[in-house]
Chain A
Amino acid sequence: MTGPALPRPGLPWPGRVRRALDRPPPVRVGALVTLPGAAVRTAPAVALLACAALAGVPGGSLGPPALLAAAALAVARPALPVAPVAAAVLGLGVLAGPDLLGTAEQPGAPWRLAGLVLAVDVLLRTAALAAQTAWRGRVERAVLRGTARAAAGSQALAQVLLVIAVRLRAGGGGDTVTAGSLRVPALAAVTVLLLLAVPAAWRTRHRRPDPPSPHERP
């Protein structure tokens, strides 16, 4: 009778590396048509680069490295609000640049604006989805279809507004759009919308409960 070979204390690292690479068997979820979670996690970065390509990278020489860092951060830490902040920065870049509805100066600018409106929406939607997705997880295609359907309404409205704005500009109504008389009601509308959108719980001041009266029995 010979027993098992006695182990010798040798080099521990190759074995540990092999053990780390040798993953346990997975739990399988069947009957699903899915995409890998890694693809969903990297989608915000791709959308962010597309937005930057359409809007132009602001910030001078620091712009491209910051953009790449933001893209990497959006992939690595999807729970951080990288995508909304990046969208706001890109919007500020649009604000600082020439008017994209100025069709006379830039013939292809409305198309760029249409692409930018779409890309920003995709960026924000995919960022919200990526925040819920594990790196090794799976995402059912029906979830992506539902997200696309939910985004279709607001995207269609934005594109219709874009067409209207372009028509107004092309028909000589550009001054109407930028008229100072419309800015005040527009700002008021935004403020009302803001107040409606912000939850009521955020606007109410939380009061401390009154201390119990010494005459009350516990």
Chain B
Amino acid sequence: MTAGMTTGAAPGTPPGPGPLWGAQPVLVWTAAAGMVLLALGCVTGRADVVLVAVPAVLGAARAFGTRPRGGLDVSTRPAAEPPGQNGGQEPGGSVLAAVVRVAPPAEVPAGIPVTARLRISRPGHQPAEVLVDATRPRELPVDARSVRTGRQPLYRVEHQGVGQGVAGPVGRVAPAQVLVVPRARRLADDLPMPVTLRGLTGQHAARRPGSGGDLRDVHPFSPGDSPRQVDWKVTARRSPQLDELWIRRTTSLGEAVVAVVVDSRDDVGPDPTTWSGVRAVRADDATSLDLAREAAATLAEAYLGGGDRVGIEDLGVRRHAVRTGTGRRQLDRVLHLLAGLQPEGEPPERVRPPRLAAGAFVYVVSTFLDPEAAVIASTWRRAGHGVVAVDVLPRLATAGLDARHALALRLVLLQRDDLLADLAGAGVEVVRWTDEAGSAAHLRLIARQSRRRPGTPAGALR
């Protein structure tokens, strides 16, 4: 877990004197059974019956007479150092770690053991129910594995102090929140580039003449050129009389501007029966927004690592997300913004696409379950931007769908396939992110195509 931010530990039940713990029906019946046997044994003069009843009566009387007062003092907080390697980030997902502190009630008779009955739960996980000794304050480490990213609730704790046939009041501790930052995949250095690079510095060779890049051409010396650029061998070959000097011109360097546009309006899981929002998505199922965060984080980290400028746009909200920038701090800004993305109500329909920097290369990360993202991607492609559509719909778990769900899903997927086909027809490359190897290979192919010079046959790429 890369828990960058928390909203603080959840408050526990305030300690202090409270009501005496109540007797459970089992204790009342135990006392009654013991009394009856004791009375019958005395009346009939049967000491063996009396002896059978003695532990029941004594145990019930002691449990009743030494009842604690008040509720347990329980609180939770995120663990400072989550278990596992790599700060809680493991191959099977992140580890959401927390600490549950349990303390006995304020008033407990000496020598009386206190047991805490805890039910620790979080959405998408199987809850843990434990009976633990709470005679003294103690801290219990709690963890669960999850592939979900973004703002995640930690653990809700329902607690009750119990004794031998007695029980205290029930308390509840609201879950704290943590922000789980998405983890980036490893991509090859070969990334798609825009047609035009920006600036005079950067890591990529531009097409215009300048300094720092590879050889561009040889050109007659003209005013403004440096004498150091004179190529004497070429000059001797082309102008033996030295009436003209020839220089080597190099290309300039530049940086790419990349816009990653994330569609945060959808957050659907692999199970289509959860799309209505009635059933919770399992914690080991990544939703489309988890995949979108991962894809955007991967692309941002790869481009920023290459010295390029990256900005983030969100189709779900009507505000500028993160303007283009470079460097490590820009990556931190991008990751923090991605972790905070979530569907926010019903956004109004866009009249025009978000404004992008001139010549920016665009990634549209969406499920494409509705036409808005596809329409915007086509608009940008027509405007001359290089556009890649990253499809983040999870692999669907269709086993067990009833006929109505299956028919509804079939219609939705047919409509979506039409949208993706229209995108491909408009010149937008569609990359399916759930296919890890396939998406990497597809991006490499797009990268090679983006570097193709005019006039090079397309077949030469393969």
Q: Which residues of A contact B (CB under 8 A)?
A: 1, 3-4, 6-10, 12-16, 18-19, 23-32, 34, 37, 79, 81, 83-85, 87-88, 90-92, 94-95, 99-101, 113, 116-117, 120-121, 124-125, 127-129, 131-134, 136-140, 142-143, 146-147, 149-151, 153-155, 157-158, 161-162, 165, 177-180, 183, 186-187, 190, 193-194, 196-199
Contacts and interface: CB of A to CB of B under 8 A. Distances in A.
Contacts of B28: 81
A81 B51 CA distance: 21
Given A25-B126, A136-B129, 14 more contacts: A9-B402, A25-B282, A27-B143, A91-B40, A94-B52, A101-B48, A120-B52, A120-B56, A124-B59, A143-B115, A146-B113, A151-B59, A187-B39, A197-B61
Contacts of B395: 4
Q: Which 7 A-B pairs have the closest CB atoms?
A: A15-B400, A146-B113, A81-B29, A15-B399, A137-B129, A7-B398, A154-B58
B29 A85 contact: yes
Nearest to B271: A19
Given A6-B413, A27-B155, A138-B129, A124 B56 contact: yes
Interface stretch (B19-27, B197-205, B340-348): B19-27
Contact of A187 (B30, B42, B126, B416): B42
A154 B164 contact: no
Given A15-B400, A83-B26, A190-B35, A134 B284 contact: no
A34 B131 CA distance: 9
B138 to A, nearest CB: 9
Contacts of A92: 37, 40
Contacts of A151: 55, 59
A7 B46 contact: no
B142 A140 contact: no
A117 to B, nearest CB: 6
Given A83-B26, A85-B29, A183-B45, A157 B52 contact: no
B441 interface: no
B141 to A, nearest CB: 4
Contacts of A1: 420-421, 424, 430
B5 interface: no
Interface stretch (B116-124, B179-187, B251-259): B116-124
B141 A138 contact: no
Contacts of A199: 23, 64
A157 B120 contact: no
B336 interface: no
27 contacts: A4-B393, A4-B395, A4-B396, A7-B409, A9-B401, A10-B406, A12-B400, A24-B126, A24-B284, A29-B100, A81-B28, A88-B36, A95-B46, A117-B55, A120-B56, A127-B30, A128-B24, A128-B27, A128-B165, A129-B164, A138-B130, A150-B63, A154-B54, A154-B59, A158-B55, A180-B45, A183-B45
A180 to B, nearest CB: 7
B413 A3 contact: yes
